[in-house]
Chain A
Amino acid sequence: MQPNRTVMSLLLCGLALLLGTPQPLRAQEEISIDITQGADNPLPIAVVPFRSAGALPEDVAAVISADLRRSGRFDTMTTDRMPSQPASLQEIDFPAWKSLGMENVVVGTVTPSANGYNVEFTLVDVFKGQKLYAFRGATSVANLRYTAHQIADIIYEQLTGEKGAFATRIAYVTVRGSGAGRKVYTLQVSDSDGYNPHTLLESPAEIFSPAWSPDGRQIAYASLEARTSAVYVQDIATGQRRAVAKGQGINSAPDFSPDGTKLALRRSVDGNPEIYVLYLDSGLFQRLTNDPAIDTEPTWSPDGQRIAFTSDRAGGPQIYEVSLFNPTAKRITFNLGPYNARPRYSADGKYLAMVNGGSGGYRIGVLNLRDGGFRIVSDSSQAESPSFAPNGTMLLYSTTGSGGTELAAVSVDGRVRQRIDLPGGAQVREPAWGPFRR
């Protein structure tokens, strides 16, 4: 790494990033994230409170620290254990941190500017006594929290070698109330840690299967509001939407192609559920399956050439795959029990996550497509809707806890697990992790 050059390019890139994505700030109820299981050798890191002349709307260091901690890869130091609170490399008392066994320290400042804040931070390797990374950027008041997530991404990438996915968003469906006609369904988009939730849709009718467009600007979903299920595509910023598949039978389970020009979805226009590709520009449908069984839950391979889906053509539900150019379905799940459904590829195409059912209940399973290895990664007996983080390291899914359905996350190797309790007492389901923000 060449620090100077990297800092310069990051400064420019950081400015664009920081200014690019407006996000209103609002008072939040507490979101609790419980790490139920952590990695074996988490990396010690201390994110020292960023120095600021006045009170800030967000505790930047706390947000960064929480991000790193919930990745399960870091052992974050609480402020009361810190020997001092330096704000720059020069202020760090290296022997004091070394004696505590602290390997990495993050220091920084937040300075008010005409348009918001200037944020500066340095990541320091205590044992080498040198800076690993320095960054300076401008942000708005509204974006300060998002900036903290971006800083967490930078630190994560510097120390693990993998791209961070903290400055991303997630979508999910909530349900309040009980009994037919008294339920309220909402479609929500929030930051990856559950903060800044926004309601995209509120409806007395069921909402299913939210899916992100690859540019992060649109969400596709299915809704029963027109008495039968129709698929909509909604712009996140404006709220404008259009019905892209409706009418005869059930239209559902949309998934955007990696290039954003197509949707895979399931329709039952001829009575039986089949997999289709919808070309969004022309509105034309291409039918990919033709089988009297249930074919549903299509999802694109990262190369955009194949679609995996759930089918019970062999009796119970299993995962199959078709190519856009060859409609012969190939079965993917063998000897993995009687129930495998709702597949999702990791971005690198190496893994396929699914709902795996058997005598032990319904759990999230991850199939390594390269070596055939299979691992159950969730501990719940009612886990559903796995969704990969865009960096492929974590999976979000819904699970049934004491209070109903809630969100949980797990690392792809199953080692790091966490439960995410969103405020408000709603049932939370069908999480979809959004793409990297551009």
Chain B
Amino acid sequence: MYKRVLQVLVLVVAGSLVYGCSKNTKEDASSTEQGLSPEELAAQTQGTAESQGLEGGAVNEGMGTDLTGTVGSDRIIYFDYDSSEVREEFRPIVAAAVSHLGANPAAVVSLEGHTDERGSREYNLALGERRAQAVQRQMVLLGASATQIRTMSYGEERPRDPGHDEAAYGQNRRVEVAY
């Protein structure tokens, strides 16, 4: 069973110092990754010194290919500008997710919050987070167990519509209810 493909990156420390960087490369020898599981190391770090090696790591197939964009429109809740209020018309989507969890005690619903591209990136990351949490609260109020719900935010990073107009922004201010 290969649901997860692990690809070990073998890293080679380059040879000789070309530009006399020994002072720099010796530093921080002790500050290696600590306590991170292999799944978390899809990113590859590098230094600017010539004679340094990359750290080993693994790539897992889910990385960067989350369910964003894969849920049907019947599982997307849209929001007003700078708002995290779940509008009445989307309550059926929330209720359906709650029913799903009730019928499947081992199931998990993932709530991914998103924003449009306007404004500050970090503020949008928080706004997407708050939208996902607002949906989570609705679900809990309807009887879902919080332990079956995961929330995350991608801020403005993963738009549904790449456009730069109000129609696109409306598509992008959303929570995707993935299950």
Contact = CB atoms under 8 A, between A and B. Distances in A.
Given A205-B64, A243-B33, A342 B27 contact: no
A198 interface: yes
Given A22-B19, A198-B46, A317 B64 contact: no
Size band of the B side of the interface? 35 or more
B133 A240 contact: no
Interface string B33-44: 111100111111
Given A235-B27, A273-B126, A180 B64 contact: yes
Contacts of A324: none
Contacts of A22: 19-21, 24, 49-50
B125 A252 contact: yes
A297 B27 contact: no
Nearest to A381: B118
Interface in A225-243: 225-230, 234-243
Contacts of A230: 40
- Main secondary structure on chain B at its contact with chain A? loop
Interface string A137-167: 0001010000000000000000000000000
A117 to B, nearest CB: 14
Contact of B47 (A226, A237, A266, A296): A237
Given A225-B40, A385-B121, A24 B18 contact: yes
A310 interface: yes
Select the residue from A217, A241, A385 with max chain B CB neighbours within 10 A: A241
A166 B125 CA distance: 33
A342 B40 contact: no
A202 B129 contact: no
A239 B129 contact: no
Interface string B135-179: 000000000000000001111011000101000000000000000
A380 interface: no
B62 to A, nearest CB: 8
B48 A189 contact: yes
Interface in A348-388: 355, 357, 362, 382, 384-385
Given A181-B65, A225-B43, A235 B31 contact: yes
A33 interface: no
Interface of B: 18-21, 24-25, 27-29, 31-36, 39-50, 52, 54-55, 59, 62-66, 68-69, 82, 117-123, 125-127, 129-130, 133, 152-155, 157-158, 162, 164
18 contacts: A24-B18, A142-B19, A201-B44, A204-B42, A204-B59, A208-B121, A224-B154, A224-B157, A225-B40, A227-B152, A241-B31, A242-B32, A249-B129, A250-B129, A266-B126, A294-B126, A342-B123, A357-B118
